[in-house]
Amino acid sequence: MLYAINARGEKVQATPRGIAFCPVCRRAVVARCGTCKARHWAHKHGEGCDPWFEETAWHLAWKSIVRPESCEVVIRRGKTAHRADIVGNRNTVIELQHSPIAPEEMRAREKFYGKMIWIIDAACFFGNMSFVLKDDYALMAWHYPRTALLTAKKPIYFHLPCGNIFRLECAYPKRRGHPLSGWGRFMGWKPFFHLYFSSVAKQQYSDGLQPDIIKDRRDIELSRLKFHHSSRLTPRCDCGLSPEYSNCNQIVTFSPD
């Protein structure tokens, strides 16, 4: 977690040999101050108290652009408590999802949080996706999709490794032997920022410019991608036809042999 609480109940960031407590279970947490990830707190011996909570460098990057009071917000419903990754504009919960998620957990989170959106890290599977830009929308084809995401009732936004945001508007039932097809819309950073982050962003990000830490991750992520053994890679992305998405002209798309 990016923030823990001190003895006075104040949110604090990790420092070497720092002392703090989990805001949910109140147990002591350990400061992680290495060089691979942003400084953060962790439960001792992996004894995490929130099964929904996930932390990667990608999570920490997104959380770092919002003020502490809007990050890792503890929400309680009766005797149940969970940490929402971010609470954005108009009290919208923003859940950051990197790893695969079960349909049951997705439905449970949506029921618990109510007003929310999903931001999905597409770096692990974007090589299996291709997009074709139309007038005001884009067609999508997705080989080997994470079908659990299709059970979501709340808005889904894919964060592509080039930094662009793609909102999935509709996905059609998958046919055997064919990729999942659907359509959606690419969003420039500023419209997305003003829709969900403008009132909770830190001062240095309030101008609406996309932070470098979540803008272009191709050099970091490409070496980690795993493709189907019969895949053929083509450096192409049709959203690069539009000047607004010019930073997306090097996406690697997937085509089966």
Alpha carbon distances (Å) from 207 to 116, 210, 251, 253: 24, 9, 27, 32
Radius of gyration of the chain (CA): 19
- b vs e for 156-193, b when ≥16 Cβ sit within 10 Å of the residue's Cβ? bbbbbbbbbbbbbeebeeeeeeebbbbbbebbebeebb
Please give the sequence-ordered ranges of beta strands (E in DSSP) within 22-126, or none if there are none: 28-32, 40-43, 71-77, 80-87, 93-97, 116-121
Which of 46-60, 125-139, 228-242 is predicted least confidently? 228-242
Alpha carbon distances (Å) from 241 to 33, 63, 183, 248: 42, 31, 17, 9
For 227, counting Cβ atoms within 10 Å of its Cβ (0-12 exposed, 13-18 middle, 19+ buried), the class is middle
**SS3 state at 38:** coil
Total residues found in the chain within this entry: 257
Alpha carbon distances (Å) from 224 to 78, 91, 125, 127, 129: 41, 35, 10, 11, 16
Model confidence at 36, in pLDDT bands (50, 70, 90)?
low
Check residue 52 and give its pLDDT.
63
Residue 139: CA count within 13 A, CB half-sphere: 5
Q: pTM of the entire structure? A: 0.75
Q: Is the pLDDT of residue 68 over 70?
A: yes
Enclosing H/E stretch for 113: helix 103-113
**SS3 state at 220:** helix
Which residue do the tokens 């962790």 mark? 42
Amino acid identity, residue 124?
A: C
Check residue 48 and give its pLDDT.
62
Domain boundaries, the chain: 1-49, 52-256
**Structural tokens at position 194:** 């003003």
User: Residues 195, 200, 202, 203: what is their CA dihedral angle, to the nearest 10 degrees?
Assistant: 80
pLDDT digits (tens, 9 = 90+) for 147-200: 888 889 999 999 987 778 899 999 887 777 788 899 999 887 888 999 999 999
Q: Is the pLDDT of residue 257 over 90?
A: no
Check residue 46 and give its pLDDT.
61
**Structural tokens at position 257:** 């042999």
Strands 138-142 and 28-32: unpaired
